[in-house]
């Protein structure tokens, strides 16, 4: 027996009523989003409120609220029932009494999308489809692929080509046929729609039935907080389906008399993808031509459910907030440091929003707030690693451990996460200023010797190309200097001069200090860097007699820091097999190369004289 007559579909914009036999995606008149509208009086009679109040949250507990026929076995991966984490440490840091994080990353594929896929894929099966097509920024694809695999449906997936690899790996492993599109999410969605029409595939995605599954998050929140009201719920918004679905769940419980207050909803968007705007008191949905954010899961330039989000914000006197990528990555770290919740950047935007609204006094310290952490951090580790340096690599030697632990490296790195592009110096500072700023930004006290070295490097940066010093630049300088701390400056570059004309090969004149004595030399090479290094190598060959060569040489323009900074990584290989990797940073590629070379040689000498020590090391080295 089919009992599909307890609901109908209705367009949110033009109010046209329709049925799932006609469309499972958008309104056939105006392409607006559809709602599933229930006969709530009938539903109320049917409800087992005792069960709702006493059994633990679980998707299957809400079967009466789903638009699914009950004459068949349902496909489920045990989605939902995620924990509501009480964030005591973070609450303290942000200055709020009660903060909860709804940990949606605990769903089977690592994001809340599974709640929606549960209803959607069961619906596709019920309607007799054999194949499903979906456009996605990654998580939807992973989830729809998983449920399709379980249901035995073929699954076609369209994603923008910059989709995080971990999410693609998931979809592919669930056996989906994945196609990457050179374009935005919007382009992918268009193609998915056309494909569904042409081939008669079920169009999965942020359409009418998805919200019906995702609203269970709203029921769960109400149940997990039976004993107290939630004042605010903060949700990241891409297509807007999740926020409006959570709101729908709460609204239904309110309508059923199960809760007596509706929380106020907060929508968070990425700063560079803020399609929904509030302009002089009026909300509107705009099209974002080129969304550009590390929050891939909310990078949707045309939110289909924008009008539903606006409805929820209006009905609850909600708020709309944006979060920049920098703010988001900082909060992602703060959340994992303080609560051991490693979430996707998109999910971390909720903490940015919370902090902003607390500072503005919109959210009060005594109110109760829930942030919906929509997905797990392991989905996109590359985004996180952008703000974290590679950990130091050392030899298995306790002295090496001491060097790292007693050095200031960890402190530099901990502080380096924040405000990487903040301009620190735009003119050559005095030594006193350097000392003060380093203390303030990196909480370390420079020794007199290191202060001289750091100040010298800063001067080089600014004088060389008249560039400013961003925080990331200062971090590299500090790391370089501190990394050298334990080694005597056996080789030091004092001065160099390059002659580079069209007529002949470049020549370099260099002045170095080697083991306390000053030497001058000239060299020639295919390029200026080569010439300068050849000049130094002559001195080394003559006075040190160490046989080595440059095994690898790599130039990288770091993504953060002032624009003209280059980072050179050099691998020096000594005859007996010792190998070192060191880096040099400067706005000038020649200076950066010389710094890397000098650092490399000092390390090589150190190893040469301490043969029990390492074969290769390099505290601050980046991946080649």
Residues that bind Zn ion (CB under 5 A): 11, 13-14, 16, 27, 29-30, 32
Closest distance of CB 622 from ligand PLP, Å: 28
Of 188 and 535, CB closest to ligand PLP? 188
375 DSSP assignment: B
Give yes or no for residue 111 binding ligand PLP (CB under 6 A): yes
Q: Does 561 bind ligand PLP (CB under 6 A)?
A: no
Question: Closest distance between Zn ion and the C-beta of residue 416, in Å?
Answer: 51
Binding residues for ligand PLP, how many (CB under 6 A)? 20
Chain positions 25 to 84 lying near ligand PLP, rule: CB under 6 A, are none
**Least Cβ distance, residue 276 to ligand PLP (angstroms):** 10
> What is the 3-state secondary structure of 25-53?
CECCCCCCEEEEEECHHHHHHHCCHHHHH
- Binding status of residue 241 toward ligand PLP by CB under 6 A: yes
Nearest-approach distance from CB 144 to Zn ion, in angstroms: 25
The strand pair at 98-103 and 131-135 is best described as unpaired
Q: Classify each residue of 228-254 as buried b or exposed e, where b means 16 or more C-beta atoms within 10 Å of its C-beta.
A: eebbbbbbbbbbbbbbbbbbbbbbbbb
Which of 59, 107, 139, 475 is close enough to bind ligand PLP by CB under 6 A? 139
Which H helix or E strand runs over 135? Answer: strand 131-135
Interaction between residue 242 and ligand PLP (CB under 6 A): yes
**Minimum CB–partner distance for residue 375 and ligand PLP (Å):** 3
Say whether residue 123 binds ligand PLP (CB under 6 A).
no
Q: Which residues of 75-98 are buried (b: 16+ CB within 10 A; e: fewer)?
A: bbbebbbbebbebeebbeebebeb
Q: At closest approach, how far in Å is the CB of 30 from Zn ion?
A: 3
The interface partner of residue 474, options being ligand PLP, Zn ion, none and the CB cut-off 5 to 8 Å by kind, is none
Q: By C-beta, is 138 or 587 nearer to ligand PLP? A: 138
Given the complex with Zn ion, which of 28 and 365 has the nearer CB atom? Answer: 28
Q: Do the Cβ atoms of 512 and 518 come closer than 8 Å?
A: yes
Strands (E), 380-466: 423-425
Q: Tell me which of Zn ion, ligand PLP, none is bound by residue 344, counting a contact when its beta carbon lies within the kind-specific cut-off of 5 to 8 angstroms.
A: ligand PLP
Q: Is 474 helix (H, G, I), strand (E, B) or coil?
A: helix
Positive/negative CA dihedral, 199, 202, 206, 207: positive
335-364 positions binding ligand PLP, by CB under 6 A? 344, 346-347
Distances (CA, A) of 415 to 118, 377, 623: 43, 21, 21
**C-beta of 34 vs 330, nearer to Zn ion:** 34
Question: Given the complex with ligand PLP, which of 249 and 375 has the nearer CB atom?
Answer: 375
Neighbouring-strand partners of residue 511: 495, 520
Nearer to ligand PLP, 102 or 113 (CB): 113
Residue nearest to ligand PLP (CB): 375
- What is the distance of C-alpha 19 from the center of its chain? 39
Task: State which of residues 33, 160, 205, 240 lies at the interface with ligand PLP (CB under 6 A).
Answer: 240
Picked from ligand PLP, Zn ion, none, the partner binding residue 346 (CB below 5 to 8 A depending on kind) is: ligand PLP
Choose the one of Zn ion, ligand PLP, none that binds residue 240, judging by a C-beta under 5 to 8 angstroms depending on kind.
Answer: ligand PLP
For 330-361, what is the HEC assignment?
HHHHHHHHHHCCCECHHHHHHHHHHHHHHHCC
Question: Which one, of 547, 563, 538, 551, lies nearest residue 596 by Cα?
Answer: 551
String marking each residue 273-312 x if it binds ligand PLP according to CB under 6 A: ------------------------xx-x------------
In angstroms, rounded to a whole number, what is the distance separating the alpha carbons of residues 77 and 367?
35
The option from Zn ion, ligand PLP, none interacting with 11 (CB < 5 to 8 A, set by class) reads: Zn ion
30 binds, among ligand PLP, Zn ion, none (CB under 5 to 8 A by kind): Zn ion
> Cα separations (Å) of 558 from 31, 181, 555?
44, 27, 10
Select the binding partner of residue 27 from Zn ion, ligand PLP, none (C-beta < 5 to 8 A, by kind): Zn ion
Site for ligand PLP in 176-235 (CB under 6 A): 206
Q: What size, in residues, is the chain?
A: 624
Query: Residue 11 in contact with residue 23, Cβ under 8 Å?
Result: no
Is 236 a binder of ligand PLP (CB under 6 A)?
yes
* Residue with smaller CB distance to ligand PLP, 82 or 241: 241
Q: Quick one: 47 exposed, middle or buried, by C-beta within 10 A (0-12, 13-18, 19+)?
A: middle
**Nearest distance from residue 581's CB to ligand PLP, in Å?**
37
Question: 589-609 and 528-543 helices cross at what angle (nearest 10)?
Answer: 20
The entry of ligand PLP, Zn ion, none that residue 241 binds, CB within 5 to 8 Å by partner kind: ligand PLP
Pick from 32, 33, 238, 318 the residue near ligand PLP by CB under 6 A: 238
What are the backbone angles phi and psi of residue 322, rounded to the nearest 5°? -115, 155
Task: Work out how close the CB of 12 gets to ligand PLP at its nearest, in angstroms, rounded to a whole number.
Answer: 15
The number of angstroms, rounded, from the C-alpha of 131 to the middle of its chain's C-alpha atoms is 32
CB of 368 to ligand PLP, least distance (A): 22
Tokens of 148: 């399709």
Strand partners, 236: 268
The first and second tokens of residue 384, run together, are: 């996180």
d(CA 4, CA 464): 74
Contacts to ligand PLP from residues 477-496, by CB under 6 A: none
Assess contact for 475 and 442: CB atoms under 8 A.
yes
Query: Interface residues with ligand PLP (CB under 6 A)?
Result: 111, 113, 139, 206, 236-243, 297-298, 300, 344, 346-347, 374-375
């Amino acid at each position: 027996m089919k009992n599909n007559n307890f609901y109908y579909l209705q367009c949110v914009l033009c109010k046209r009523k329709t049925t799932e036999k006609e469309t499972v995606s958008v309104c056939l008149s105006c392409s607006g989003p559809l709602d599933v509208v229930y006969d709530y009086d009938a539903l109320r009679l049917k409800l087992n409120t005792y069960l709702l109040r006493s059994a633990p949250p679980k998707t299957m507990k809400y079967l009466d609220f789903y638009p699914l026929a009950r004459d068949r076995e349902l496909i489920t991966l045990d989605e939902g029932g995620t924990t509501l984490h009480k964030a005591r440490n973070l609450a303290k840091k942000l200055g709020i009494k009660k903060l909860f994080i709804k940990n949606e990353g605990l769903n089977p594929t690592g994001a809340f999308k599974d709640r929606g896929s549960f209803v959607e894929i069961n619906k596709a099966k019920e309607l007799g489809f054999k194949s499903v097509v979906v456009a996605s920024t990654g998580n939807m694809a992973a989830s729809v692929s998983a449920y399709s695999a379980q249901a035995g449906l073929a699954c076609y997936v369209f994603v923008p080509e910059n989709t995080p690899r971990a999410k693609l790996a998931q979809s592919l492993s669930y056996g989906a046929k994945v196609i990457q599109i050179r374009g935005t999410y919007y382009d992918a969605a268009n193609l998915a729609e056309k494909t569904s029409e042409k081939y008669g595939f079920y169009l999965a995605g942020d359409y009418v039935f998805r919200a019906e599954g995702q609203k269970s998050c709203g029921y769960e929140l109400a149940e997990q907080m039976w004993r107290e009201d939630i004042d605010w719920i903060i949700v990241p918004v891409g297509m807007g389906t999740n926020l409006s679905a959570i709101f729908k769940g709460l609204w239904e419980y309110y309508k059923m008399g199960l809760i007596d207050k509706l929380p106020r909803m907060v929508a968070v968007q990425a700063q560079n993808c803020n399609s929904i705007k509030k302009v002089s008191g009026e909300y509107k949905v705009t099209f974002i031509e080129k969304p550009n954010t590390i929050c891939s899961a909310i990078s949707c330039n045309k939110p289909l459910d924008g009008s539903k989000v606006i409805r929820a914000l209006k009905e609850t006197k909600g708020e709309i907030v944006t979060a920049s990528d920098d703010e988001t990555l900082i909060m992602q770290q703060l959340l994992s440091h303080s609560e051991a919740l490693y979430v996707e950047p998109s999910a971390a935007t909720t903490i940015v929003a919370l902090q902003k609204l607390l500072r503005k006094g919109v959210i009060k310290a005594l109110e109760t707030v829930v942030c919906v952490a929509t997905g797990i951090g392991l989905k996109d580790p590359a985004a996180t690693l952008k703000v974290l340096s590679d950990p130091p690599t050392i030899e298995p030697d306790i002295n090496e451990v001491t060097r790292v632990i007693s050095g200031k490296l960890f402190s530099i790195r901990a502080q380096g996460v924040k405000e990487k592009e903040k301009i620190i110096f735009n003119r050559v500072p005095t030594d006193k200023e350097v000392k003060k700023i380093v203390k303030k930004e990196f909480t370390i006290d420079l020794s007199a010797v290191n202060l001289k070295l750091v100040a010298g490097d800063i001067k080089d940066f600014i004088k060389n190309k008249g560039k400013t010093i961003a925080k990331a630049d200062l971090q590299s300088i500090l790391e370089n200097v501190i990394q050298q701390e334990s080694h005597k400056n056996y080789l030091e570059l004092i001065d160099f001069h390059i002659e580079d004309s069209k007529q002949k090969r470049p020549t370099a004149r260099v002045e170095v200090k080697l083991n306390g004595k000053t030497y001058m030399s000239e060299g020639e090479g295919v390029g200026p860097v080569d010439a300068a290094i050849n000049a130094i190598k002559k001195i080394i060959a003559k006075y040190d007699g160490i046989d080595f060569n440059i095994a690898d040489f790599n130039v990288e323009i770091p993504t953060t820091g002032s624009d003209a900074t280059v980072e050179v990584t050099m691998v020096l290989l000594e005859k007996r097999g010792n190998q070192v990797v060191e880096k040099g940073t400067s706005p000038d590629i020649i200076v950066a190369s010389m710094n890397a070379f000098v650092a490399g040689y000092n390390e090589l000498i150190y190893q040469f004289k301490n043969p029990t020590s390492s074969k290769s090391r390099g505290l601050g080295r980046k991946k080649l």
